Amino acid sequence: MKKLSISILAIILAFNVSILFTSCENSEKDADEAAAEMTEEANEATEESAAEETVTADYSAGEAIYKSKCMACHQENGEGLDPSFPALKGKTVNLDMVVNGKEGTAMAAFKNQLSDQEIVDVVNYVDHAWGNNADDITLEDVAAVKK
């Protein structure tokens, strides 16, 4: 009688332990899943805020002008070509240079090739490309430097 109750007790104990184990496994799995979900959500949030940034500051018109009028010399990455063409990356655009050019060099006076609005667009693009971060310029700024 005593033996029987001991073995019943042992069975009950074993059963409880196995329940404990499975529930542990489950909660571990749940925690992993929750962590994965959180990472996913965080990634989505970052993507969304990146997309919002592009919407609030749209330099796509300037980017198109850069690609057709400036990229051949200053390069797609803005690093120029040493020693002939200076980098635009890591600088604030010298507006006078873009508007009036520099005689005796390959840098043309773009007031003869682009409208004032196109100059504003391309300068503001360059000033926000490749990590550049200068204040936007306006049509008045272009008019003020024209020679």
In whole angstroms, how close is the CB of 77 to ligand HEC at the nearest point? 14
Locate 100 and state its tokens.
Answer: 């009036």
Q: Is 74 in the site for ligand HEC (CB under 6 A)?
A: yes
By beta-carbon distance, which residue lies closest to ligand HEC? Answer: 70
Judge contact between 79 and 91, C-beta under 8 A: no
Q: Which of 64, 69, 128, 141 binds ligand HEC (CB under 6 A)?
A: 69
Name 85's bridge partners.
81
140: left (phi over 0), alpha (psi -120 to 50) or beta: alpha
Judge contact between 126 and 146, C-beta under 8 A: no
Locate 13 and state its tokens.
Answer: 């104990």
Contacts with ligand HEC in 80-119 (CB under 6 A)? Answer: 84-86, 88, 91, 93-94, 97-98, 102, 105-107, 110
- Report the alpha-carbon distance of residue 89 to residue 134 in Å, rounded: 11
In whole angstroms, how close is the CB of 61 to ligand HEC at the nearest point? 13
Rank residues 44 and 76 by Cβ distance to ligand HEC and give the closer one: 76
Locate 38 and state its tokens.
Answer: 């959180």
In whole angstroms, how close is the CB of 68 to ligand HEC at the nearest point? 9
Interface with ligand HEC (CB under 6 A):
69-70, 72-74, 84-86, 88, 91, 93-94, 97-98, 102, 105-107, 110, 122, 126
